Structure 1
Amino acid sequence: MLWDKTHINMKKNYVVAVSLGLAQLVLHTTAGLAQSASKKQDTVKNLNEVVVTATRSPKKQSEIGRVVSVISREEIARSQGKTVPELLNNVAGITFSGAQNNMGISSSLFVRGSSTGNTLILIDGFPVNNASGIDGSYDLNAFSLEQIDHIEILKGSGSTLYGSDAVAAVINIITKHAKGQELTGDVQLSAGSYHTFKGSVGLIGTLNKTGIALNVSNTDSKGFPAATDTTGKQGFKNDAFHQQTVSLNLTQAVSSKFSLNGNFQTTYNTGDLPAGAFKDDKNYTYSNTLLFGGLGAKLLLPKGSLLLNVSQNTVWNNYLDEPSAANYNTGDLPAGAFKDDKNYTYSNTLLFGGLGAKLLLPKGSLLLNVSQNTVWNNYLDEPSAANYNTPYFSNNIGRITNSEIVFTDNLASFLDITSGANYKYSNTSQNNSYGSIDSKLANNNITSLYTSLFLKSGIFHMELGGRYNHHSQYGNNFTYTLNPSVLLADQFKVFATLASAYKTPTLYQLYSQYGNIGLKPEVTTSYEAGFDWQIIRNALSFNTVFFKRKTKDVIYFYTDASFNSFYKNGNKQDDQGFESELKLKVDNFTASTYAAYVTGTQTDENGVDTHNLLRRPRNTYGANVSYQFIKNLSVGVNYKYTGERSDTHYLDVYPYSRVEGLAAYNLFDLHIQANATKKLSLYVDLKNLFDKRYTDWIGYNTRGFNAYGGIKYLLD
């Protein structure tokens, strides 16, 4: 008990110290910027930035009782050579564990300490998931940065408007769309460490009144040993990675009020895998395909819109491990932590497509979206003669069909509405060396109706929303959102949120060899309070958010005394923390600094508490700085401190696993970009600048210092 009190006091002191430190920096910076920023007082304020993710309709940040983080088009343009996980990893409150592992090794997205499956990923508002995966999450490495216009991140529960996967956050990846311009194109080529080469071709513009945005990319890397070699022989082989992506957006304005849009995404991955932690496998290969297709129709109403979306999302996975004469010497994909598997390879393909239609109403709109999301995964691990002679294989397919209609309208000067209906069907079929899952058994569907009212009166704003869900297996449930905010002096926003979420078990958790059809859904209540202060309009801002998340019947993986492993419900999970961010923009100088803290405790059926936020640091902080020295030259620096955390070390003997601590680390990245001509630009990325050696996952290697260079040429 003494330790608990001491820990709580230390946590409070940490929060106070960080908040006071950032506040002091704000005050000192404000004085120095006042004169420089005075000329910008009449320009658009940051609180007037328009976002769509928080409310499913365009609204100013000042009207929303949340802080929506935006990775802008300009920031993405300054980040050529980076990946989507690398960009997100520099956002306050987000940790992308494993983002610096070898290409092809999966990574884990943690938002405010919540597990990966509790964050919903959208492509242009279309949801994408993996029905065959353990937690249903989607691989963000499937997206090429060249196809993205900007990214909006809504942290906190979004389940009322977005459904059961939006427990902790919604990340909306908004791709490039033609906006009436003539057809133009670009070509990008890059090369760098680990014999990595990437090329992409883009085309965007209008052809015969049809908007087209097309991007095709190819990435090849010889990689490095994914698993950590503790034998001292340095014999683990490099794990190769290959990826091809195609992204196509089509828009058609049928009339001034009615439009259609189609979205198609496909990603095909192949590569090698190790045998596991510390183990190599020379013959373990995989392939996966992710396929998404969506259709949308939008009708503009006098004061709103009506939107209809329909989408299909499919994932294919294939794994194979073939026999070989040698065992555990090299590998392309590790078999697990500290395990190299020379025969473990993979390929995967991600395909997404969506079509939408929007009708503008006099005071609103009607939106219709249709999408298809598909993922194929193939894994092959060919056993070695020294170990086993039967190849290991795993083939699985996950399919999700999503249909939704969304109505938005301005009912009165003080009241807006967003209302909709959603139907989602999921199934998976899986076959591996240990058994199979039939899609006739492993499927479910959920039907939802939802409404959110947005009230505004002077300085006061409030969202009041509810969602009714009917699940084919779990029946009816209701979630809600209450989100008031007050805007003072048009620059200081104070807000609070009370919201609930309801997340059903994944098909894998129910029907796999570790499945448990007796699992109950997780029920979460989220609390949030904070402020967003635009200290100097369009120049300096500071925000802080405190959050608490309480989950009942949390699902976790369990091994009993007889060494039987399966998924089960715990008693409860309590997570809490805060995040603060300071942003500055003056002339050609842009900077931000942030700090975040999160801790979590799981309580089992016997009342025993366990700190279980594995791979998630309690403390993170960092800074992002960009400066344009001259018209054609810009330099950016990213810094992030990742605090101490823990991970599970799996053993070959009893007790078969133990939790071990991982040391904190600091990473610095440098980005230099120059415009040689109006059409030709060049860039250099220097990552892990000081060659820091660290571990994100026990038994797996991370990248040391690595460098990449590239060119981009614009085509008329």
Structure 2
Amino acid sequence: MSKLLCYFTVFGSLISFTAIAQTEKQDTAISRHGQLQEVVVTATKFPKPVNQTGNSVIVITHEQLLHSQGETLSQILDEQTGITINGANSNYGKDKAIYIRGAGSDYTVILLDGMPLYDPSGMGGAFDLRLIPIDEVERIEIVKGGLSTLYGTDAIAGVINIITRQAAQKPVEGNADVSYGSYQTFQAHAALNGKLRVFTYDVQYDHMQSGGISEATDSTGKAGFDKDGMNSNAVLARLGWDIQPNWKLQPFFRYDYFFGNTDAGSFTDSKDHYQASDLNTGFQTTYQLSSGAIHAHYLFEQTHRTYHSESYGDSRYEGRHHDAEIYWNQNFGKHLQLLAGSDYRYLKMPDTTAKKKNPSVYFISPYAALFWANEKGFNAELGGRFTHHEQYGNNFSFTFNPSFIFSSGITLSADISSSFKAPTLTMLYGPYSPNPDLKPEIGYQYEAGITVPYGNGKSNMQFTVFRRKIKNIIVYTPAAYINQNEQRDWGIEYQQTIQATSKLSFTGSFVYLDGQLTTLQNGKDTTYENLLRKPKASFKLSAQWQVLPALFVGSSLENIGDRTDLDFNTYPFAPVTLKAYTLWNAFVSYTFRKQYMLYLQLRNITNTSYTEVYGYNTMGFHIIGGIRARF
């Protein structure tokens, strides 16, 4: 506890240097107190001011993304309050794991334009972040907490909605971006979009390659480990058709390919490699009503992954994912809103070595939620989802999400919710130690928060405390996967924001986490601390300064506390401590002729030596420079 108080003391002394970035006009609304409020979609599935939800919401705007040129999606997410992307600063080709509030990477749903991405062939089903190029992205909305009522399986820790760039309103528009930097890293992006009468179009291409660093750490410093490079390509094509003034249809096609050289394990060099691809196609449609809308989408997704090992040869995995959803939101007067819908998913894993050859499973989930908002400041959400799973049967999820806005603009919020994670095809049917009798993991979340605006609403302070329990956690044993463990986590998040001037802003946050895992050993429950690779304490600070109309400067400082990892070269796996570290990054851009931007991204300026995963390297000081053009 004394260490926690020390962090708070340090944070309090620096808090005057913290703030929030400005938001764009089209993404704001006027509150009843005359203050601009961010409008989000992900928290409710339809546009709603963020202060009318009891959820913890983070919005990364297009402007913020422009000021992050040269970073990857993983690095941008890693900078957000309460989020750690393990491997974000390791070799570009190394796998990336999402930890929201200390939860494992399999407990976060990744949405692309509101549609869930999923890998049925993966052990946990988590989508590979390396397959999404950041230059495709217009905006990111992150909602933390249990969200299975709206998004179904896996939404135990939160949801990340990656919203891609929408078509322009002119007949022809476009943009291009080229950059080069340390480790022979080259990135290129090109996009062409526009509107022709009732049709819109959008075509994008992205490429990234890097010579990389050695993925594994050379513990002797003399072994001469080779560098592990990567190469990725992505194509996005999307059309829009205004069938009627209130009815729009949008078919899409997206393909991503990733190749990366890898090593055999911690401290172990090799000529192994990994390649993955993700194809997703389908359509989205919206029919606007006088006081609401009907939305529907269909997504087909096919994933391929191949691991090539010098020692064991190739291991191939394939997954197919169908997702069809329809939902309706309706306003009933000024105060009451209804959301009702149903989601159908079909998962298949072509694998003749599985206990059930080429296993598949479907589940269907009707859901509904009521939203109440009035001019006196009280807002609430009450909802539930019933899920019928082909294999394990039925389960129910709920959410109760009230908030109250005082006349001063101070907002109190709370969240009580349940969520679930369905067992994956690998867990149910193999090929390794399957168990078709597995039950879903069930999560319960309790959260309370306060937001205090000041400075005419341009600055604020946010404080959140949460507690989460996950029951029936599925664990691997040589005999079979079993429901055995229980994880309990709690934590606090504190964020202070200041708009110092119209040109200068700061953002700062402090997060403290704690967690315990209860497992059955020798017939008795055993409880021990469990935050593997997740820091108990983290501190993040950033500044944004529009020095001149054409010149922008940004800088960030991130302190990550001690973490625990495991040495997988021993048996039983021995715990090891990863030391705390601090990273300093900076960004500079210069815009000329209103359509060209030169930029420079500097990362790990102090060339700090640190570890994200035991036995694996991280990048030292590196720099990326580029030019972005809009036409």
Q: TM-score, normalised by structure 2?
A: 0.93
SS state at 1:224 partner: coil
The alignment's C-alpha RMSD in Å is 2.3
Q: Is the 8 A contact 1:394 1:430 kept in 2?
A: no
Q: Is the 8 A contact 1:428 1:437 kept in 2?
A: no
- The structure 1 residue matched to 2:515, chosen from 587, 596, 600, is 600
Letter in 2 for 1:701: N
Post-superposition shift, 1:273?
1.5
Letter in 2 for 1:64: T
Judged with a 3 Å threshold, the aligned counterparts in structure 2 of structure 1 residues 565 and 709 are, in CA distance, closer, same or farther, namely farther
> Residue in 2 aligned with 1:4?
none
- Return 508-517 or 685-694, whichever deviates more: 508-517
Judged with a 3 Å threshold, the aligned counterparts in structure 2 of structure 1 residues 19 and 164 are, in CA distance, closer, same or farther, namely farther
Q: Is 1:89 matched with 2:78?
A: yes
> Residue in 1 aligned with 2:548?
630
> Residue in 2 aligned with 1:712?
628
Q: Is 1:200 matched with 2:215?
A: no
> Residue in 2 aligned with 1:252?
241
Q: Is the 8 A contact 2:19 2:497 kept in 1?
A: no
SS state at 1:57 partner: coil
Aligned residues: 616
- The structure 2 residue matched to 1:303, chosen from 263, 284, 291, is 291
> Residue in 1 aligned with 2:439?
520
Report percent identity of matched pairs.
32
> Residue in 1 aligned with 2:123?
134
Q: Is the 8 A contact 1:47 1:491 kept in 2?
A: no
Distance 1:43 1:501 in 2: 32
Judged with a 3 Å threshold, the aligned counterparts in structure 2 of structure 1 residues 627 and 407 are, in CA distance, closer, same or farther, namely same
Q: Is 1:317 matched with 2:232?
A: no
- The structure 2 residue matched to 1:104, chosen from 82, 93, 112, is 93
User: Map of 1:426-505 to 2, 5 A cutoff?
Assistant: 426-430=347-351, 436-437=353-354, 440-457=357-374, 458-489=376-407, 491-505=409-423
Judged with a 3 Å threshold, the aligned counterparts in structure 2 of structure 1 residues 624 and 567 are, in CA distance, closer, same or farther, namely farther
Post-superposition shift, 1:271?
2.4
Judged with a 3 Å threshold, the aligned counterparts in structure 2 of structure 1 residues 464 and 274 are, in CA distance, closer, same or farther, namely same
Post-superposition shift, 1:587?
0.8
- Return 685-694 or 452-461, whichever deviates more: 452-461
Judged with a 3 Å threshold, the aligned counterparts in structure 2 of structure 1 residues 438 and 674 are, in CA distance, closer, same or farther, namely farther
> Residue in 2 aligned with 1:382?
310
> Residue in 2 aligned with 1:288?
276
Letter in 2 for 1:532: T
Post-superposition shift, 1:439?
7.3
Post-superposition shift, 1:679?
2.7
SS state at 2:225 partner: coil
Q: Relative contact order (alpha carbons < 8 A, sep ≥ 6): 1 or 2 greater?
A: 2
Q: Is the 8 A contact 1:43 1:538 kept in 2?
A: no
Q: Is the 8 A contact 2:280 2:302 kept in 1?
A: yes
Post-superposition shift, 1:16?
6.6
SS state at 1:165 partner: coil
Letter in 2 for 1:66: N
> Residue in 1 aligned with 2:609?
693
Post-superposition shift, 1:202?
1.2
Post-superposition shift, 1:193?
0.9
Residues 342-389 of structure 1, C-alpha deviations (whole Å, 9 max, x = no match): xxxxxxxxxxxxxxxxxxxxxxxxxxxxxxxxxxxxx22234xxxxxx
Distance 1:678 1:221 in 2: 30
- Contiguous gaps of at least 5 residues in structure 1: 1-8, 31-40, 319-378, 384-390, 559-563
SS state at 1:146 partner: helix
Judged with a 3 Å threshold, the aligned counterparts in structure 2 of structure 1 residues 455 and 714 are, in CA distance, closer, same or farther, namely closer
Q: Is 1:508 matched with 2:423?
A: no
Letter in 2 for 1:630: L
Distance 1:396 1:475 in 2: 27
Q: Is 1:160 matched with 2:149?
A: yes
Q: Is the 8 A contact 1:648 1:660 kept in 2?
A: yes
Letter in 2 for 1:702: T
Residues 392-450 of structure 1, C-alpha deviations (whole Å, 9 max, x = no match): 1111101110000010000232210111001011111347xxxx337745221110010
Q: TM-score, normalised by structure 1?
A: 0.82
Post-superposition shift, 1:630?
1.1
Q: Is the 8 A contact 2:33 2:407 kept in 1?
A: no
Residues 649-706 of structure 1, C-alpha deviations (whole Å, 9 max, x = no match): 0125xx3421111100000111111113333211111101100001111111110111
Distance 1:504 1:714 in 2: 44
Judged with a 3 Å threshold, the aligned counterparts in structure 2 of structure 1 residues 192 and 234 are, in CA distance, closer, same or farther, namely farther
> Residue in 1 aligned with 2:539?
621
- Contiguous gaps of at least 5 residues in structure 2: 21-29
Q: Is the 8 A contact 1:86 1:99 kept in 2?
A: yes
Letter in 2 for 1:425: Y
> Residue in 1 aligned with 2:27?
none
> Residue in 2 aligned with 1:579?
493
Q: Is the 8 A contact 1:45 1:537 kept in 2?
A: no
SS state at 2:481 partner: strand
Q: Is 1:532 matched with 2:451?
A: yes
Letter in 1 for 2:530: N
> Residue in 1 aligned with 2:465?
546
Judged with a 3 Å threshold, the aligned counterparts in structure 2 of structure 1 residues 97 and 469 are, in CA distance, closer, same or farther, namely same
Distance 1:15 1:273 in 2: 37
